[in-house]
Amino acid sequence: MRSKRWSIAIATGLMVALIALPAWSQSRDADGTRMQARHVEVGTNHSDSLSPPEDRADWRMIRIGESTDLTLNLTVHGSDVEATLTLTSATGDRLEQKTAGGDEATITRSLDAGIYYIAVESSDALRYTLSIE
């Protein structure tokens, strides 16, 4: 009798967990860390938004095949909030960081071939466009 109660309790707990899982996974930020970075290409623009506290950062990963001058331009749309644009190496070392105080920030950097990461971060809700040239 006791094992039957335990079986019912375990089955009920698993059902509750499976029902709650989709809602939990949808609220997670898919590109909120460097390890979740979305792959992007040179010559592209990306419009997105941040909505803290769940979504404080968007990360992008770029693979550069040969030495080049890379320009990143962050434009914050219709807001007087600050956003930070950061370029890091493949190992996460910060190469350069700029703040867009309600308008835009630009990073231009000579880079060797390799993998680099780009982060857009803010503690306030905002819409933005990231240009990669």
pLDDT tens-digit profile, the chain (133 residues): 555 655 554 555 544 444 443 443 344 568 878 888 899 999 999 999 999 988 999 999 999 999 999 999 999 987 688 999 999 999 999 999 999 977 899 999 999 999 999 999 999 999 999 999 9
Tell me, what's the pLDDT at 32?
A: 78
Global pTM reads 0.76
Q: Which residue is it, tokens 């941040």?
A: 50
Q: Structural domains in the chain?
A: 34-132 (2.60.120.380)
C-alpha–C-alpha distance, residues 83 and 127, integer Å = 10
Give the integer Cα–Cα distance in Å for 89 and 83: 20
